[in-house]
Amino acid sequence: MPPPPVMPATRDYPRGRGRTRATARKTTGLPSRRHLLPGEGTSNAAQPHGLPDAMRYQLQENFVPRGEFHTWSCSYKTFASCKPKDFYGTEGATGVLRWIEKMEVVLSISECLNTQKVKYATCSFQNKALTWWNTQVQARGRETIETMSWSELKALLIREYCPKNEMQKMEEEFWNLRMDGAGHQTYTNRFHELCCLLPHMVSTEEKKVDRYIWGLSPQIRGMVTAAEPRTLEKAILLAGSLTDEMVRTGVLVRKQKRKRFESKKSEAGTSRDSKQVRSYAALTTEKKGMHLLQETGSYGGIL
């Protein structure tokens, strides 16, 4: 009978209550679960390639040591599943800025690498924009395009599709944006849009608050200023509450309902006038026919 195998000399660990799974792994020499990589410890372990993203992240969380995460590239299928918006090159300055804003959200959700952002984003170019991009590829070279960053592509798009005159028009609109009567919601929505399109004009939270208060109706501007709101959210909530109170007391009037009523009234008046004109025309034609019959004395005279 062969002698029993000699175990390596190890430190004696307490047994029973003081013996944990970690100490058991140390005594037996087994690798810790946190240090097991996919494919190690078993011959048929699943490899991360070709697995769904959720399973890959689970493997990464459970088997890869902390601080040693691997970078998984984003596939185009994952990027396309986020439904990126197409860009045609005819949207104008506002359209291209909104497309950039939407594309940045898609790139963030799909977790594209920096080397993939330009390649995937330009796949959304259509018609005129695609022709312009092919011209850029031919002029700059394929190697230069492949090393282009997302920031460089944004600057290139703004330079091409956001001329200075269009940007100046939007800046002028932002400076002159004011609340019309009790239209607090309309004013706030447009203010948010211009803040996203022209972030350089309201670079800090304080500038946003000051610019928003400046455009409010005179009836509530002073009260909002006296409250000294620190954030834009507080200024919007306070302005909305004051607007509703002014409408309830009759100081401000919502013009949208009155415009709708006037438009319906004008349409009804127009249809009534058209009916009267048609009736008058028919009556005039009938009178002319009767007068002609009286002159000729018979239908044959008409023919």
| Count of CB atoms situated within 10 Å of the CB of 124 | 19
| Per-residue H/E/C for 130-156 | HHHHHHHHHHHCHHHHHCCCHHHHHHH
Per-residue pLDDT of the chain (303 residues; tens, 9 = 90+): 666 665 555 555 455 555 555 554 444 444 444 444 444 444 444 444 455 666 665 655 555 555 544 456 788 899 999 999 999 999 888 889 889 989 999 999 998 999 899 999 999 999 999 999 999 999 999 999 989 999 999 989 988 998 888 889 989 999 999 999 889 999 999 999 899 888 889 999 999 999 999 999 999 999 999 999 999 999 999 999 999 999 998 888 877 554 454 555 555 555 555 555 455 555 555 555 455 445 545 444 444
H/E stretch holding 95: helix 92-110
What's the full length of the chain, in residues? 303
Q: What is the DSSP string of 222-257?
A: HHHHHH--SSHHHHHHHHHHHHHHHHHHTSS--HHH
Q: For residues 45 and 39, give the distance between their C-alpha atoms in angstroms, rounded to a whole number.
A: 5
